[in-house]
Amino acid sequence: MYFQNKLVWITGASSGIGEYLAYALNEEGARLVLSSRKTEELERVRSRCKNPDTVCVIPLDVSDQDAIPKAVEEVISSFGAIDILINNAGISQRELALGTQLSVDRQIMDVNYFGTIALTKAVAPHMQTRRTGQIVVISSVMGKFGAPYRSAYAASKHALHGFFDSLRAELYPDGIRVSLICPGYVHTNVTINALRGDGSPNSVMAESTKGGFPPDVFAKKALRVIKKHKREAIIAKKEGLAVLINRFAPAIFARIARNLKLK
Ligand SMILES: NC(=O)c1ccc[n+]([C@@H]2O[C@H](COP(=O)([O-])OP(=O)(O)OC[C@H]3O[C@@H](n4cnc5c(N)ncnc54)[C@H](OP(=O)(O)O)[C@@H]3O)[C@@H](O)[C@H]2O)c1
């Protein structure tokens, strides 16, 4: 019953994790706002939800900071309040640091970090007024360590932890709770949509991603984390061990990282 009638805004809802969070949340009675850049894909997701009448599509490119205030106004004027914001939109990377053009580093930061914090800064004051709300961020295990071919991606996800750990403390007295969820491999299009060093799409489905959690299974686990207001959660198979090794034996992890084949 936790999600019954709650208004949940999901970014990156046209595909993968965001898409399956939408199905799972709508199944549990949540009303949804689905956002991303591809309107047709969002409509496809809406039509596949259990109760499409309770689902609204609002296209939004989170890296377009001028578009954010208008989108927030539209959600507030249509629904009155946002109970849960799920910042899920993101893009990954498949290139060595020195082979990645600076414009691509910026693009990844613009979507994964600045897009996420810009939307959060626009939504959180509405939650403050009501003295309730939840902000959820889909980070990554790459938010907890760095590895070859992921420099910009890992940097963007690490930045989210710094920002949202701070914000969690600041918004606690207002009754707002912040959860950072760090997925390991989830079988989505993330590696196909990942950027190469010149900004072109990787267009390859990685075997590791194929072997990850199916997105519906991941979504159910994520809903449990959100319900419990967990501060941070790793949802991963054995790749989650890397987070523990990096935390408790960083010198050993540094040696392992050199040999990781993540291309
Ligand atoms: N799958 C994994 O193994 C994995 C592991 C760790 C973390 N994650 C994280 O999980 C999140 C979701 O990724 P996914 O695996 O579901 O990959 P995905 O299938 O590629 O989905 C990415 C979503 O982000 C949206 N998006 C991309 N750029 C956007 C922008 N500028 N503005 C708004 N939306 C944008 C895409 O929609 P449009 O193209 O329609 O804009 C799409 O809905 C990401 O933050 C990713 O870093 C995934």
What is the whole-number distance in angstroms between the Cα of residue 17 and the centre of ligand 1? 7
Residue 68 lies in a domain: yes
Residue 42 lies in a domain: yes
Q: Cβ(143) to ligand 1 under 6 A?
A: no
Q: Which atom of ligand 1 is nearest to the CA of 62?
A: 32
Nearest CA to ligand 1 atom 36: 12
pLDDT tens for each residue of 2-54: 999 999 999 999 999 999 999 999 999 999 999 999 999 999 999 999 999 99
Contacts of 217-222 with CB under 8 Å at 24 or more apart are 218/17, 218/20, 218/183, 218/186, 219/17, 219/20, 219/21, 219/23, 219/24, 220/24, 222/17, 222/21, 222/136, 222/138, 222/181
Residue 262 confidence (pLDDT) above 90? no
pLDDT tens for each residue of 186-225: 999 999 999 999 999 999 999 999 999 999 999 999 999 9
pLDDT tens for each residue of 58-87: 999 999 999 999 999 999 999 999 999 999
Q: Which amino acid is at 110?
A: D
Predicted local distance difference test score (pLDDT) of residue 261? 81
Predicted local distance difference test score (pLDDT) of residue 1? 92
Residue 263 lies in a domain: no
Residue 94 lies in a domain: yes
Q: Cβ(191) to ligand 1 under 6 A?
A: no
Boundaries of domain holding 153: 7-258
Active site residue 153: yes
Q: Which atom of ligand 1 is nearest to the CA of 38?
A: 40
d(CA 41, CA 43): 5
Nearest CA to ligand 1 atom 17: 190
Q: Cβ(86) to ligand 1 under 6 A?
A: no
pLDDT tens for each residue of 110-160: 999 999 999 999 999 999 999 999 999 999 999 999 999 999 999 999 999
Structural element, H or E, at residue 56:
strand 55-57
d(CA 222, CA 182): 10
Q: Report whether 78 contacts 1 (CB < 8 A).
A: no
Contacts of 172 (CB under 8 A, 6+ apart): none
**Helix, strand, or coil here: 235?**
strand
| CATH number of the domain within which 11 lies | 3.40.50.720
Residue 112 lies in a domain: yes
Structure tokens at 242: 């890397």
Is the pTM higher than 0.95? The answer reads yes
Q: Cβ(185) to ligand 1 under 6 A?
A: yes
Q: Which atom of ligand 1 is nearest to the CA of 63?
A: 31
Beta bridge partners of 86: 10, 136
Residue 1 lies in a domain: no
d(CA 7, CA 118): 20
Nearest CA to ligand 1 atom 42: 12
Considering the candidates 2, 153, 172, 185, report the single residue annotated as catalytic.
153
Q: Cβ(111) to ligand 1 under 6 A?
A: yes
Pocket test for ligand 1, best of 23, 34, 36, 192 (most atoms within 8 A of CB): 36
Buried b (16+ CB within 10 A) or exposed e, 123-137: bbebbeeeeebbbbb
Per DSSP, 36 falls in state: S
Phi, psi of 19 (to 5 degrees): -60, -45
Q: How many domains does the chain have?
A: 1
What is the whole-number distance in angstroms between the Cα of residue 252 and the centre of ligand 1? 31
Residue 71 lies in a domain: yes
Q: Report whether 170 contacts 122 (CB < 8 A).
A: no
